Structure 1
Amino acid sequence: MDTTRVSSTAFDGTPHAPAHARKFVRQVLGEWRLSHLAEDAVLLTSELVTNAVVHAGTGIELTCRLDVDANPAKLEIEVDDHHPTRTILAADPMPAGGGPGGMRTSGRGLALAGMLADAWGVTYTRTAKRVWVRMELTDGCEGLELLAGTPGPAPAALSAPIDTLHVGVVVCDRDGLVQSWNHEAQHLLGWRSDQAVGLRLADLVAWRGHGPYALSLPDTLGLGRWRGEARMRHIDGRLIPVYVSHLRTRGRSEDRRSIWMVVARDHRYVLTPPPAPLRREAGTRIKDLIDQDMPFAELLGTIAQIVQVSSGGDAAYVLLSAEAGNTFGVAAGSGATAGLVGVLATGLFGADRKTPTMIEDLLSGDVELAQQLRARSLACAPLLVTGEVTGYIVVTAAQPGRFDQELTVSLQHIADQVAVPVQRERLAERDRAHRGRLSFLAEAGELLAGVHDEELIAALTAQLVVPKIATWAAVYLTDLAGMTRLAHVWHSEERHNADLRKSLPAIPRTAIEEVSWPVGPENVLSFPLLTQGRSHGALVIGRTEPTLPLELADLLSDLCRLVALNLHTAMLYARQATTSRVLQRSLLPMRTAPMPGLESAVVYEPAEEGADVGGDFYDLFTVADHWCFALGDVCGSGPEAAAVTGLARHAVRLLAKEHYTVADIFDRLNHALLEEDDDGRFLSLLCGELTPLPQGGALCTIASAGHPPPLLLRADGRVEAMATPQLLLGVEAGARFYVETFELAPEEVLLCVTDGVTERRNGGRLLDDGDGLSAVLSGCAGLSAHAVAERVRHAVESFATEPSHDDVALLVIKATAALRAVR
């Protein structure tokens, strides 16, 4: 008789296929009475189907085949896809002993197949590829014999007389008071129903707890399910050893009941689950993986995956303590992790909780955590190293009441197996991550240093995290008015940048942390850009990985603080630049006065980067029937010198408008500077008047207070210095100043400069050494005033490779024809 059993199904090659496959295999093995093999079989199936989805992308056929006639009996699981040209990259056998290098960073599922299955292989046909695993059933043969129709041996516990079996049923309310007591319970313990109802269950049970992580009786009554041995009090005072199966009903809290099924300890086989010998316990299997040389993040991910599959939960996590030591964050996850990231700030995970915990419904105790995990059921066990909690292994499920107390014991066994190796690897990884973190932040700081443009900062930030940390990134900026806008997006594949920008809200209608991001293949996370209590926007990233490790979350937080600080600096810089522009409008003339018959040109370049004004100034304006011009240089540069600049320029214009002579202007301004009592703030000033002459040209009356003398370019190309330097203004109260006059004929050019021109330095040489400026001007014969100004400016700029460290100002005036009187 052929006793081979076969069960098959088919799935589309979608991301949901592994979940459907796990459910199918678990159901089939349950029907074949092979539930004790489900842990390994489901894990292998999940990995093979995942590989087929990722690498083939076609429809998938899954077949389970059980051959009980083979010696030994065997279970085969086959996964067929329809892309035979895709070879299995990880099909090489693992080295014996599994030493370093024995497990690749890819193809982990086939490495697991090599560890968990007795044999595996790949079969290629013209139209399909089949990956199969074989498990020899040396354990649990009793179930196989029953499947094949051969009577199996009865459990040893059946040696107890069956006629003495009594199954008592006891029902208690939520306070532990007995509400119902059946006739079988009376046979077992002697209490009649009317005697037992109303008693406290605690008075009927000699409770000492059971197992290495014992719970109190009230805690046990609060569990959804529990099985174990106890001792209950007989009516005659004896303590009867019994076996209890506990179940708590669902519903509203006030309506919940505890149901106890009680048998004598010798009849415990009636209530105990069937034996489930495992080919290899999950804790041992994980420990074998720890012995492999694999990246720390991948190790944690594998632990989470095995725990999730073996427990039957919807998701599993490995939590590790944050640097502060009192909080715990997600280090790895598997299953429906929903992009969980960061620290779980809840009392459930604390440094003082050193025993495993099971919660039947999170919504009844911690709504925030239930929403964060998207789960109702939770079981967890601490990772203990030298008595300290270093992390947790957590399993969750979307439905309430999915787990029982036995699972917490299994989780604690796993946690005990991996706690020390994980902590050792984590310390080594933390050291490596710390060095990499410092290097990354140093690179980011160097890249952002000195950048004062918000748009450029946003662009650099996005490109810092893509593709090193995220698949894509977007930077939102918040202005001083509180308006938030999308400033920059960057995708690892640049062709997706336009689509990414369209999919993200350009101006969020809600706060960034409340935005509903578009659903896609990546998990979307946002990090605020905060500094000094002010939000400058947010960094939003998309990652294909389901969770964000703690170290990476800390790195992104540090990066965001650095970016926010640079944005704050850029904001201050922009504010200062605006202030400088406003100051410039008051310190420099908005326009020079038009002079019929004369051309004028001005060059003004402050030395300080980003400044609009400095210590040099100029002015050109009309007074009655003549023109006035001034060119000055305050000792120093920057805003401090600009303050004196404002005083000097406005004083010159005001005094000239009041018809003071050039000498009187110098005298009054000299006293004004001395009254300011600003030590070291001296002023060199060149000031003159141009009066039109009937024959053409102009009569120039000029005085120079410590200023470089103006140069006059004659029509024949000769260059002459036209004023004698006198004492600086602001030095001596008793100083007396005088004027000089000369005629500016048609086609002649007057060049007035500050010492930023004459003292332009290149090593030990100055621009005006050997009459260098005169040589530059002599080559400007026949040029317009603007052309002369540009040639001199270019000579100053190109004289040295280093930028000038002094303010540069120059004024060019050229007589072109007979002047008309000013009206």
Structure 2
Amino acid sequence: MGAIPVQRETITRACDVPAPGNECAQTRTVLPGSPLSPGSARTLVRAALDDWATSGLPGTEHLSERLLDDAVVAVSELVTNAVVHAGTEVELSCRLEEDGALLVEVLDHHPSRAPRDGELEAPYETPEYGRGLRLVSRLAESWGVTYRTGAKTVWARLPAEDPVAPKGDIEAYAEERALERGLRVAEILAPEPQRAERERDWLNRGALSFLAEASDLLAGQLDENLVAALAGQLIVPRLADWCAVWLEDEVAGRWGYARSGDGDSGGGWAVDGIAGTGPRLARVWHGSENLIEELRRALEKEPPLPPDNHRTGPVAYPWPGDALGRRQEHGTALAYRLIAGGHPLGTLVIGRADLLRFPDEVTGLVEDLSRRVALAIGAARQYARQATISRVLQRGLLPGAVAEIPGVASALVYEPCDKGGPSGDFYDLFPARDGRWCFAIGDVQGKGPEAAVVIGIARPWLRLLAREGYRVSDVLDRLNQLLLDDATEAADAAARALVGPAAPGDGPQTRFLSLLYGELTPFEGGIRCTLASAGHPLPLLLGADGEVHTAAQPQTLLGVVEDATYTSETFELRSGDTLLCVTDGVTERRSGTRQFDDGDGLATALAGCTGLNAQLIAERIRRLVHEFGGRPPEDDLALLVLQAE
């Protein structure tokens, strides 16, 4: 049978005084009462056990993969329990005893809330929540709760040997009932001061730090649904029993609600039901998880009606007693408008059972928090708008399809570093007149809207000049002049329209461009290639015999020197010859102080691709670039492979 929770007289037994040269395998850390803490706790435990095993500390000879897995699960469940149901700072301690048993302790500063195991489920029902302490009781040989002034510690002792053995139905049932009795004993043992007194004490001591921590958590979210979820977890259970967040369109007039006095509005809260779709219930949070869905269904039937003014203060909201059961049949609920920059973004509703009126300290604190929630939602929406603009720009900067060239196999790899914004890299492969096909791969200075606008000007001009029959060198001459003339000012103005006004005295900036451009002309027996590189990484030519050499000469960037003239190179691609074109995201991929192309690293990698087709060459170069550094690439990456068939 699993362990029954008990009181423990000492919280953490200090390690016996170690002999000289001996250490005790233990670790301790303090975690914030945030949803990120369980993940941090899991990482800490894994790292600590690995370090102990490497150091050969006493007891580590008993460590096993099973104990590591059990420790991660137990720590995760105990820290999650403390974060969700206590909502305070959490102290985590782990100590390995000489017999290999691991002692885990999680301390929070809310002693009046006993560790919860979810509401007890009806017989024969399969619970969906509240398995945390049941898991711990199965994994631990003993566990329990220790109370001290202003603190509560939940501890578990995980043995070196596996404590989990197959159980019959009767034994499992008896264990469940014993666990429930243990939880009820823990609830009785918990010193429960008056709630109002406890709240006043917390509000006096922790309100400012609570708002500061909430601001930090909310400011890092770029999705309005995550902001709504965080708001619920911040409020429940510290300030209310339940919380709901509605989100709405910022454009006035899309609510579709009856105003006060319009028809039968039921006191100003009823939905018109004819015009508009109304706000969206983004999040519902309750201290008892098994009540969330029923509460959601009740709240969806009665969304809050926005007032005529933009007042953010609390307004009474109907109590959803039918959804909360007999024990919470009566209570008080308040609605706060979420407004940022003068725009209504939604409504935050909080509720508490068995309360006639929220204390003024709580209503004031929630109002302050609601303003921070509104700002975070506004910032998330602004980010979403900019991301949408960026995606639209990105789609317009790249060709819808890559042309198929007779006698040439092509392969492309294109990986923007910033998935949510326009890349500075671009490519093109398109047919021109007189049996010619043209290709280009380039990189604009910087990223984002400024780079996007320059690409949006350069690529269409590139196609136009090529189809008008201009030679490769002439195309570069004219693009260079274009970037130095009015096009740069237009690009700068368009970019600033997206990102905001210019600083005083900040005029148009030159946007330079590195470009590799060429044309292919098939003939009997091969492909004639003419190309030129303007400040771009030089293309590499891989012969069928495995020899690699550069296929162009370095020249000046486009958009830098006004009277620059460009020249081109012409050569033939025979069967099996491969041309590799890349951006600096490949050649300058870093690993510490080294770059991928140091010591002709790219040429060496290409030589190892002898005998492969175009697609396999592209994939192999991409894989080598990714494997070169320990982190994901920090720059846009593009490469084009052209292989004569």
Give TM-score scaled by structure 1 length: 0.45
Of 502, 516, 520, which residue of structure 2 is paired with 1:686? 516
Check conservation: 2:427, 2:441, Cα contact below 8 A: yes
Check conservation: 2:531, 2:552, Cα contact below 8 A: yes
* Structure-1 residue corresponding to 2:414: 604
**Aligned residues, how many?**
395
The answer to whether structure 1 residue 484 and structure 2 residue 286 are counterparts is no
* Structure-1 residue corresponding to 2:239: 469
The CA distance in 2 between the partners of 1:506 and 1:610, in whole Å, is: 36
Q: Which letter does structure 2 place at the counterpart of 1:693? A: F
Consecutive unaligned residues in structure 2, runs of 5 or more? 1-148, 150-190, 255-277, 308-314, 489-507
* Structure-1 residue corresponding to 2:379: 569
* Structure-1 residue corresponding to 2:334: 525
The CA distance in 1 between the partners of 2:561 and 2:403, in whole Å, is: 33
Matched residue SS, 1:504: helix
* Structure-2 residue corresponding to 1:538: 347
- Give the drift of 1:814: 2.6
Q: Which letter does structure 2 place at the counterpart of 1:641? A: A
Q: Which letter does structure 2 place at the counterpart of 1:764? A: T
- Give the drift of 1:506: 6.0
Matched residue SS, 1:636: coil
Matches within 5 A, 1:809-820: 809-816=638-645
Q: Which is further off, 463-472 or 600-609? A: 600-609
* Structure-2 residue corresponding to 1:636: 446
The answer to whether structure 1 residue 733 and structure 2 residue 543 are counterparts is no
Matched residue SS, 1:604: strand
The CA distance in 2 between the partners of 1:739 and 1:814, in whole Å, is: 20
Matched residue SS, 1:631: strand
Of 297, 300, 317, which residue of structure 2 is paired with 1:505? 300
* Structure-1 residue corresponding to 2:208: 438
* Structure-1 residue corresponding to 2:143: none
- Give the drift of 1:802: 4.1
Residues 468-517 of structure 1: CA deviation (Å, up to 9, x unaligned)? 22222221111234441111222222222222222221683844868645
Check conservation: 1:631, 1:754, Cα contact below 8 A: yes
* Structure-2 residue corresponding to 1:806: 635
Check conservation: 2:517, 2:532, Cα contact below 8 A: yes
The answer to whether structure 1 residue 762 and structure 2 residue 571 are counterparts is no
The CA distance in 2 between the partners of 1:294 and 1:687, in whole Å, is: 76
The CA distance in 1 between the partners of 2:459 and 2:232, in whole Å, is: 47
- Give the drift of 1:730: 1.9
- 1:554 to 1:770, Cα distance in 2 relative to 1, 3 A: same
The answer to whether structure 1 residue 550 and structure 2 residue 360 are counterparts is yes
Residues 653-706 of structure 1: CA deviation (Å, up to 9, x unaligned)? 1100111110110111111122246554222110001111212x4111111111
The answer to whether structure 1 residue 747 and structure 2 residue 576 are counterparts is yes
**Which fold has the larger relative contact order, with Cα–Cα distance below 8 Å and residues 6 or more apart in sequence?**
2
The answer to whether structure 1 residue 666 and structure 2 residue 481 are counterparts is no
Residues 171-205 of structure 1: CA deviation (Å, up to 9, x unaligned)? xxxxxxxxxxxxxxxxxxxxxxxxxxxxxxxxxxx
- 1:787 to 1:502, Cα distance in 2 relative to 1, 3 A: farther
The CA distance in 2 between the partners of 1:649 and 1:712, in whole Å, is: 25
- 1:299 to 1:672, Cα distance in 2 relative to 1, 3 A: closer
Matched residue SS, 2:385: helix
The CA distance in 2 between the partners of 1:775 and 1:543, in whole Å, is: 69
Q: Which letter does structure 2 place at the counterpart of 1:493? A: S
The CA distance in 1 between the partners of 2:218 and 2:282, in whole Å, is: 16
Of 599, 623, 626, which residue of structure 1 is paired with 2:436? 626
Of 534, 537, 550, which residue of structure 2 is paired with 1:705? 534
Q: Which is further off, 769-778 or 441-450? A: 441-450
Matches within 5 A, 1:376-395: none
Matched residue SS, 1:457: helix
Residues 685-733 of structure 1: CA deviation (Å, up to 9, x unaligned)? 10001111212x4111111111111122333333222111112222223
The CA distance in 1 between the partners of 2:389 and 2:350, in whole Å, is: 36
Matched residue SS, 2:246: strand
The CA distance in 1 between the partners of 2:368 and 2:410, in whole Å, is: 55
The answer to whether structure 1 residue 772 and structure 2 residue 601 are counterparts is yes
Matched residue SS, 1:654: helix
- Give the drift of 1:608: 4.2
Check conservation: 2:335, 2:350, Cα contact below 8 A: yes
Residues 319-353 of structure 1: CA deviation (Å, up to 9, x unaligned)? xxxxxxxxxxxx9xxxxxxxxxxxxxxxxxxxxxx
- 1:491 to 1:789, Cα distance in 2 relative to 1, 3 A: farther
The CA distance in 2 between the partners of 1:506 and 1:601, in whole Å, is: 55
Matched residue SS, 2:622: helix
Consecutive unaligned residues in structure 1, runs of 5 or more? 1-100, 102-292, 301-330, 332-425, 817-823
Check conservation: 1:508, 1:515, Cα contact below 8 A: no
Matches within 5 A, 1:94-105: none
The CA distance in 2 between the partners of 1:786 and 1:440, in whole Å, is: 55
Matched residue SS, 1:489: strand
Matched residue SS, 2:243: strand
- Give the drift of 1:639: 1.9
The CA distance in 1 between the partners of 2:528 and 2:395, in whole Å, is: 31
Q: Which letter does structure 2 place at the counterpart of 1:459? A: A
Check conservation: 2:245, 2:284, Cα contact below 8 A: yes
The CA distance in 2 between the partners of 1:806 and 1:651, in whole Å, is: 26
Of 550, 556, 559, which residue of structure 2 is paired with 1:721? 550
Residues 756-805 of structure 1: CA deviation (Å, up to 9, x unaligned)? 22112222111110111222223333444343333333333333234444
- Give the drift of 1:297: 5.8
Residues 449-484 of structure 1: CA deviation (Å, up to 9, x unaligned)? 332112222222212222222222221111234441
The answer to whether structure 1 residue 797 and structure 2 residue 626 are counterparts is yes
Of 455, 462, 470, which residue of structure 2 is paired with 1:645? 455
Of 614, 617, 620, which residue of structure 1 is paired with 2:426? 617
- Give the drift of 1:754: 1.2
- 1:472 to 1:515, Cα distance in 2 relative to 1, 3 A: closer
The CA distance in 2 between the partners of 1:548 and 1:783, in whole Å, is: 73
Matched residue SS, 1:717: coil
The CA distance in 1 between the partners of 2:518 and 2:302, in whole Å, is: 57
- Give the drift of 1:812: 2.0
- Give the drift of 1:435: 4.4
Q: Which letter does structure 2 place at the counterpart of 1:594? A: E
- Give the drift of 1:808: 2.3
> What RMSD in Å do the two structures reach over aligned CA positions?
2.8
The CA distance in 2 between the partners of 1:471 and 1:532, in whole Å, is: 30
Q: Which is further off, 536-545 or 765-774? A: 536-545
Check conservation: 1:484, 1:507, Cα contact below 8 A: no
Check conservation: 1:474, 1:486, Cα contact below 8 A: yes
Check conservation: 1:486, 1:507, Cα contact below 8 A: no
Matched residue SS, 1:795: helix
- Give the drift of 1:815: 2.8
Matches within 5 A, 1:3-18: none
The CA distance in 2 between the partners of 1:450 and 1:592, in whole Å, is: 39
- Give the drift of 1:604: 2.8
The CA distance in 1 between the partners of 2:227 and 2:399, in whole Å, is: 35
Deviating 4+ runs (over 6 angstroms): 293-296
Check conservation: 1:472, 1:542, Cα contact below 8 A: yes
Q: Which letter does structure 2 place at the counterpart of 1:497? A: I
